Amino acid sequence: MSAAVHRGGGIRLFIGERIEHVSEREILVTVCEALNKGTGWGYIFANFNVSGRQVDVAIFSATTTLVIEAKGYTQPVKGGVNGSWTQVGPYGSRKLRNGYMQALDAKNALRDVMAGLFGPLPGYPNALLAIAPAVPSGSSLPPSDFKVSIGGQDAVEAALSATSGALLSEARCEALAAHLDLERVSGRDAAIHEAVLASERTLLRYESSFLGFHGPTGKRLEDDQYNLGDKVISASEVLEKALLSRSALLIRGPSGCGKSLLSVRIATECLQAGVLPIHIQGKDFEGKLQKIIDAELGLLGTSARDLLASRHLGRQLVLFLDGYNECPEPLRTVLTRALQAFSLRYGAGIVLTSQGALARQELLSIEEILVSPPQSALKSRLAKLSPEDENFTNCQALLGIARSGLEAELIGQAAALLPAGASKFLIFDTVSRRRLGDSAAAGTRALCGFADELISQTAFSLSVREFDRFCDARGVTDATRHVILESRLVSQRGDRISFSHEMFFSAFMAESVVRAARKDSARVQAVLRSPRFHGAKVLIVGAIEDDSTLRDVLDKNTDQGILESCVRGECGDAARRIVNARLDVLLAEMVAEPSDLHFLLNGEGWHSSSIETAVHRPILSAFAAFLPAIGWLLMQGIHFDQVMTACRAMEGRLVEANRDLYEEARTKKVPLRHEIFSQAYVFNREIALSQLVCFIHSGGLSLRHNSGLEFGTALKNAWSEANTHSEFYFLLGITKFTEHASWAAPYVLNLLERLTTLPYHLQLDTMDFCVYVRDVDDVVKAKMIAALEGSMDKLGWLMNSMIFDALKGLGGLDAEEENYRAVVVAEIESALSKPGPQADTEAWNVFSRQFDHPYDNIYWEEVDNLASEQKQQLLFKALKGVSSEYVSFVGILIRQLADFGDPVVSEAIEPWLRLPDKRSVMPQDAVEAFFAAHEAMGSLSLSLPAAQVSPLDVDETMRACGELAYWACRLSESEIESSSHTLRTCLRSPRGCAVAASGALRRCKSSP
């Protein structure tokens, strides 16, 4: 969405009224053109009055103050410094006002006003009587003097370059414009044309209303950082993306994390960049996008027709939709399509906020910006607490459970009223009751009913009429209704009423559920399983104050999110104690379980072992539900001892299995050490310890949580005590993605030095760990590199690739990289200097190594640096040298070769026009090469060779799709009908061809 900034340069134009006279317009145009040639600042005042005297044009710059009296004489004019002037025409003469005196009077009147506003000024402005387009032939006018210059339109530029007295600074020019009540306009078109000026005034009114409503909200955004792919960006960089990106922006994150504030901040700052924002709510969408746009613009004092007509001023339009996830689910696809249509119709940018992905997200080209839960420092800023505040220590602890900026703000607002160990629900309830004041009971009852009503309608808002009817039906008094609307717990925008934030909606939803269920735990469980209450589950559990009901609910609960929230303290102290008690039992069972395990060999080679257990432990059937909870506790430094004990117990079983099954494994050629370790920690999903270790290695732990204060100490103790493969495997997984990875490097070095003796998956993880270490001591790093180099060729060719990646991560290839450049150059020269299949194979090796080689960047640089003819020759030979089995990157190669536009390359491309091999080990790559070949022949305008007809419909359908790709790229649509393949296949299998051909056409549209 490239932004067209409408207020540019250092020239500012103000008017008293629109300029109507032709002569004044022409002079203004000349002034603007002359000033725009320069680089300095300038102010132009046009068509305004000072002390009852009309002034046509006044110009202020760093070197001159110039007043211009514009005239449009078409017949000869005669006159002097004094007296009236006379205009002589073919049918007589007529008296005119003295132009010289008009210019002089205007100059003096302006100087008087300036002196009255700013005090005595040295010197006087210059004055020019400018006659457009020129002084009529036969005229007799007084000569120019130091008071007034007289000339045609061509005299303007010289007058502007002359120095004068009565100079003003930029700040004083602004003050003078305000004093004279002049109107700022964007440029000469707005000053001259009524339609442009009307459009600009519409925009100015809209901008003022937009900033008045959204500005205070945008200012509430605290500085934070956001994730765009693997980069961390600031709010200003998000704005830059919104202005310059050709993609729609999706601002995504959990509830209350600041998505809406970021969206509003960007929208308000768009105005400063000359971009026109429209900000609407997803919860208001009922099937017609235009309807909610019209409603929102109406509230801001304009209409869609007027605002969109203003696009003729060159203003880029950006549509902001806040809360896509609040749109009713059945309408989300409709909303996505409506956004796509709006963007295409108006050339508008799109910025959305949502908790999740969009329905049919592929319809919009999306760049996703992730907003994470706030860190401790940001939460403290939002809470605005100081150590002197009452209840400060308790509130600091509560900030630890806050996972959104809104929660942090509310903790600060209700700091003195919150008890120790308060749940999230209690935070919302306390703030709500405080805002409702004496009407807390009646207001809470009414808002619970409002939440019920919204749930029953699967909506996020009601119309004013529906809300009135709801109040009447529930007996809500006018006084209570007034208090609710003033409480900031709900908001009214136009004729729609909703909760001010979805988290308040969830809080009153939770209160409503607990009131309706009373102490019926079965009913609460049913609600917690319902998708309708997904966003309120944690609040519902936190709202339960009866210990018996709470225990019954949690003892039967297997919801991972609820259990994790309980151990975090989000559901209150009572819930935390109950779940922690269950966890203690589960972890004790996890530690005991390995002693009952038996390893068996039930086949030959790899994947030939299994695990049996002698004792059934039914309590562990729910262990998977507690994995996120255990993960969070581990990241706080809790339960390391239990996990390490379980690892040692498992290691004992592995040692026994190695001893007991050794002979059988030799007979069956089973790599026993690798096989049983992988069963214990990778492939088995039944054993509790295996589930936990898999969860950790999948990133389910480290990528979900930040480490707590005690994590580092617990981790270091564990590393110092570890001495088994099982313990090391667990520790590698939990350390890899944390800031402690580099600290653990000496322990990883110990593993690298005996890499060949480790189980296979421990080998993999040890090498992978090297990619994540940073700032390692040089001595340790050198030893790690040496250990990896010493393992080269000892673990098989496949593992060599892993070793290369590890060396690359450690910088172990940096020293050799430039030395290897000579090898690459020699390979390229060899491939180019010789004819024949061997040289073609060498050329293919060079090309493919740009994508899959330890020194791939060197290959890419050297290939890219080749002269055009050499590069074409290399790619031509490479395509001829491709192995028919290995077809990755062939599609890329064909397209790059076709880009040279040389028909000679068809010799190498034509073999790839054959139907893809159905037995290809890389079927997707084979199909890509098939289409790339057809597209290349089309772009080169070369004829397709004749192909033998296949008796199979699927073959002919594929061939027809290839032809469609060919003709689409050849840009000769009329010739498609002459394709015998396409016609024959359509007649034979119209449905199959239609489906496949539509896919081919979509593919062709996206091709260069």
pLDDT range class, residue 1001, cuts 50, 70, 90: very low
CA separation for the pair 931, 3 (Å, rounded): 37
Residue 613: phi and psi, rounded to 5, are -120, 140
Model confidence, pTM = 0.70
369-421: per-residue pLDDT in tens?
998 888 888 888 888 887 777 777 777 878 887 888 888 888 888 888 888 88
The predicted model gives 794-810 an average pLDDT of 79
In the predicted model, what is the mean pLDDT of the chain?
A: 87
Tokens of 400: 């630890």
- CA angle, 733 then 760 then 645, to 5°: 45
Report the pLDDT value the prediction gives residue 884, as an integer from 0 to 100: 64
- 3-class DSSP state for residue 494? coil
Maximum mean pLDDT: which of 660-669, 723-732, 872-881? 723-732
CB 29 within 8 A of CB 130: no
Q: How far is CA 527 from CA 444, 554, 966, in A?
A: 20, 13, 57
Provide the percentage of residues in the chain whose pLDDT is more than 90.
Answer: 54
- Beta strands at 248-252 and 349-354: parallel, antiparallel or unpaired: parallel
As a whole number of angstroms, the distance between CA 457 and CA 905 comes to: 64
User: For every residue of 780-845, which 3-state class applies, written as one string?
Assistant: HHHHHHHHHHHHCCCCCHHHHHHHHHHHHHHCCCHHHHHHHHHHHHHHHHHHHHCCCHHHHHHHHH
Lowest model confidence (mean pLDDT) among 735-739, 743-747, 872-876, 976-980: 976-980
Question: What's residue 991's pLDDT?
Answer: 43
Q: Which of 658, 647, 682 is nearest to 601 (CA)?
A: 658
Which tops the pLDDT comparison, 203 or 731?
731
Instruction: Give the dihedral sign, CA 890/892/897/901.
Output: positive
Q: Helices H, strands E: what count in the chain?
A: 45, 22
pLDDT computed for residue 886 by the predictor: 67
CA atoms within 13 A on the CB side of 121: 21
SS (H, E, C) 839-860: HHHHHHHHHHCCCCCCCHHHHH
Does 630 score more than 90 pLDDT?
A: yes
CA-based nearest residue to 279, from 354, 352, 381: 352
Q: What number of other Cβ atoms are within 10 A of residue 197's Cβ? A: 20
Position 622 confidence tier, pLDDT thresholds 50, 70, 90: very high
| Res 1006 pLDDT > 60 | no
Burial class (CB in 10 A: 0-12, 13-18, 19+), 676: buried
Q: Exposure string (b/e) for 506-519, b if CB count within 10 Å is 16 or more? A: bbbbbbbbbeebee
Whether pLDDT at 113 is above 90: yes
What is residue 578's predicted lDDT score, i.e. its pLDDT?
Answer: 96
User: Is the pLDDT reported for residue 106 higher than 70?
Assistant: yes
pLDDT score for 815? 66
Q: How confident is the model at residue 608 (pLDDT cuts 50, 70, 90)?
A: confident
| More confident position, 820 or 333 | 333
Question: What's the pLDDT score for residue 383?
Answer: 81
Confidence of residue 885 (pLDDT cuts 50, 70, 90): low
**Per-residue model confidence as pLDDT tens digits over 488-547:** 999 998 889 999 999 999 999 999 999 999 899 999 999 999 988 988 999 999 999 999
Q: Cα–Cα distance between 182 and 660 in angstroms, integer? A: 97
Taking CA atoms, 906 is separated from 719, 890, 937, in Å, by 61, 14, 7
474 residue type, one letter: R
Residue 978, pLDDT above cutoff 70: no
Task: Estimate the share of the chain in helix, then strand, then coil, as percent rounded to the nearest 5.
Answer: 60, 10, 30
Query: What are 430-460's pLDDT values in tens digits?
Result: 999 999 999 999 999 999 999 999 999 888 8
pLDDT of the residue at 720: 95
> DSSP string covering 635-676, please?
HTT-SHHHHHHHHHHHHHHHHHHHHHTHHHHHHHT--HHHHH
Is the distance from CB of 862 to CB of 825 less than 8 angstroms?
yes
- Residue 571 is given by DSSP the state T
**Cis before 216 (ω within 30):** no
Residue 983 has pLDDT above 70, yes or no: no
Residue with tokens 């026994």, as numbered in its chain: 656
Burial level of 129, CB count in 10 A (0-12/13-18/19+)?
buried
Token readout for 518 is 């009373």
Q: How far apart are CA 217 and CA 219, in angstroms?
A: 5
Cα angle value 104/109/112 (rounded, 5°): 125
pLDDT higher than threshold 70 for residue 976: no
612 membership: H or E segment, kind and range: strand 609-613
Dihedral sign (CA 407, 411, 414, 417): positive
Considering the chain, what percentage of its residues have pLDDT values greater than 70?
A: 93
Structure token digits, residue 99: 């132009």
Give the pLDDT score at 83: 92
pLDDT in tens, 115-142: 999 999 999 999 999 999 999 999 999 9
Q: Is 377 exposed, middle or buried (0-12, 13-18, 19+ CB in 10 A)?
A: exposed
pLDDT digits (tens, 9 = 90+) for 239-271: 888 887 778 899 999 888 889 999 999 999 988
Quickly list DSSP for 199-227: HHHHHHHHHHHHHHHHHHHHHTPPP-EEE
pLDDT in tens, 298-328: 888 888 777 776 555 567 889 999 999 999 8
